[in-house]
Amino acid sequence: MTRRDEGWSGRVHSTVGLVAAVLSMATPSLAFEPALSQPDIRQALDAGGAMARAHRGFDVRAYTLYSVHDALSLQPVRSSVDAVVVGTPYERVAYVGYESAVDRLAPTASLIAKASAPCTVDFILFAHGADKSDRSFLARFAKVRVRAGGMTLAPTTTDLGRGSTLDTFLLPNGGNADRWIGHVAYRFGLCAVAGAAGPKGTLFFTDPDGRKFSLPFDLADYR
């Protein structure tokens, strides 16, 4: 199970808990690269491939903007959002390297080109449905915008990945409950934003339950 194939709780299951998932990745040198050189791309592919060969899943500690304390439990006051991950060009290419190594295939030029698209950043929202019948939750995210450099940006693309999968959560009373989990990735173009080498900004969105999120970010914190 990998972080884009399933929801956040599914990825946590695959690494035996959130702490293991968060701490097992060495932090890369931080410097947002809006456009990757060929050596950068090779390094990212190698990094992703190394994670696949280590059989630890694709770890995203250095790219996690927001996550709940315990993604395996359902709490009455919890939002349906489990985590938000920042997908920089480097992180996306690393994931291509990871998936290719898992599938034992060479990464294709088209996948690398899509992942390394310059001057773009993805915000990947992991969430779960309200109940076992709720499979439409990813489509209910709304008003997804980025405010950066004095500009308000709308997503240029929206990617629902492979859809939702069923997972099991813990209830406060010790029981279990099934919920559909998944992710949606919103890509934003940054070429027009002043200081695109590492702009600060805020991600805004409304979750499937109507809760409003406002998450400040600084791209200088991410490679």
Domain boundaries defined on the chain:
8-26+37-129+157-190
Q: Provide the residue count of the chain.
A: 223
Report whether 98 contacts 52 (CB < 8 A): yes
Range in 11-15, 185-189, 190-194 the model is least confident about: 11-15
- pLDDT of amino acid 25: 40
148 vs 192, higher pLDDT: 148
Between CA 27 and CA 84, with CA 73 as vertex, the angle to 5 degrees is: 40
* CB crowding 202-211: b at 16 or more within 10 Å, else e: ebebebbeee
- pLDDT of amino acid 95: 95
Strand partners, 81: 127
**Mean pLDDT value across residues 104-118:** 96
Report whether 124 contacts 185 (CB < 8 A): yes
Residue 141's contacts (CB-CB under 8 Å, 6 or more residues apart) are: 125, 127, 184, 205, 206, 207, 208
Cα–Cα distance measured from residue 81 to residue 181, given in angstroms and rounded to the nearest whole number = 10
pLDDT-based confidence at residue 27 (cuts at 50, 70, 90):
very low
3 vs 214, higher pLDDT: 214
pLDDT-based confidence at residue 194 (cuts at 50, 70, 90):
low
Report whether 125 contacts 82 (CB < 8 A): no
Cα–Cα distance measured from residue 223 to residue 220, given in angstroms and rounded to the nearest whole number = 7
